[in-house]
Amino acid sequence: MDYKELILKLDQTALPRHVAVIMDGNGRWARLHRMQRLKGHKKGVEAVRKLVEVSVEVGIKYLTIYAFSTENWRRSKLEVNYLLKLIMDSLVNEIEELDRNGVNIRFIGSRKELSDSYNHRVIDVCRKSWHNDRLYLNVAMNYGGRREILEAVQAICQDAQAGKIDLSMLSDEIMNDYLYTAGMPDPDLIIRTSGELRLSNFLVWQSAYSEYWFTEILWPDFDKAEFIRALLDYQNRERRFGARWKG
């Protein structure tokens, strides 16, 4: 069944508001096709384009994609540099199309290890899309869930010292305001490709009640139909948030 037919099966009233995707398996895809790892990353960009298109088409409001983790610096210098450049080039190349499609894009993650010029360039390019409200796209770049929590705790401590907040009033809501995802709903659905069954430091705080969906498909092969399959599976689940089973 092609993705257009699959879309018709979706319940438009029960879409996840926020979908987060761990795009994994580029290296294995390249090996399978007897190519260099880097070619797998390049091919992965095409899958990102399809994912954004189908998210707009379906009406997803928030989409977060894991592009580079705080742990990915452990890879070879060649691969790290390639990824940094690929992510920047893709942003620059796609921004006009993203803007046309009503996508509001921002990078979330730590700025620490990235150069000032990289960080400024990202903001400069993304800014062009900030009037949009059809789809909010977060690119998790130099992102680590633990780092995010630590940076939030540091900022909270600073604000407490400055008398801006009262620590005895700390709540989930206040914590949310200090995360990179401030003002956004938690991810309802987290998708991971390539058969790995772990979170790898993604959205550690925000995923407390997320539904997970795993597929063996390697990221460069992830297509629109597979995304709709994940949404359909999500719609068959009963989310209880600790309350009793309604069956």
Q: Tokens 């991810």 label which residue?
A: 187
Residue 235 Cβ, how far from ligand IPE at the closest point, in Å?
25
Q: How far is the CB of 79 from ligand IPE (least distance, A)?
A: 8
Using the rule CB under 6 A, give the single segment among 91-99, 125-133, 144-152, 191-199 that binds ligand IPE.
191-199
Candidate segments 7-15, 16-24, 66-74, 217-225, binder of Mg ion by CB under 5 A: 16-24
| Residue 25 binds ligand IPE, judged by CB under 6 A | yes
**By CB under 6 A, is residue 72 in contact with ligand IPE?**
yes
Q: Which residue is nearest to ligand IPE (CB)?
A: 27
24 is catalytic: yes
Taking the least distance from each CB to ligand IPE, the nearer of 200 and 207 is: 200
Q: Which does 144 bind (CB under 5 to 8 A by kind): ligand IPE, Mg ion, none?
A: none
- Kindly indicate which of the ranges 65-73, 119-127, 161-169, 238-246 contains the residues binding ligand IPE, using the contact rule CB under 6 A: 65-73
Our finding on whether 27 is near ligand IPE (CB under 6 A) is yes
**DSSP annotation string for the chain:** --HHHHHHTS-GGG--SEEEEE---HHHHHHHTT--HHHHHHHHHHHHHHHHHHHHHHT-SEEEEEEEETTGGGS-HHHHHHHHHHHHHHHHHHHHHHHHTTEEEEEES--TTS-HHHHHHHHHHHHTTTT--SEEEEEEEEE-HHHHHHHHHHHHHHHHHTTSS-GGG--HHHHHHTSTTTTSPPPSEEEE-TT----TTSSTTGGGG-EEEE-SS-GGG--HHHHHHHHHHHHT----TTS----
188 near Mg ion, rule: CB under 5 A: no
Q: Respond yes or no: is residue 119 known to be catalytic.
A: no
Q: Is 24 in the site for Mg ion (CB under 5 A)?
A: yes
Active site residues: 24, 72
Residues that bind Mg ion (CB under 5 A): 24
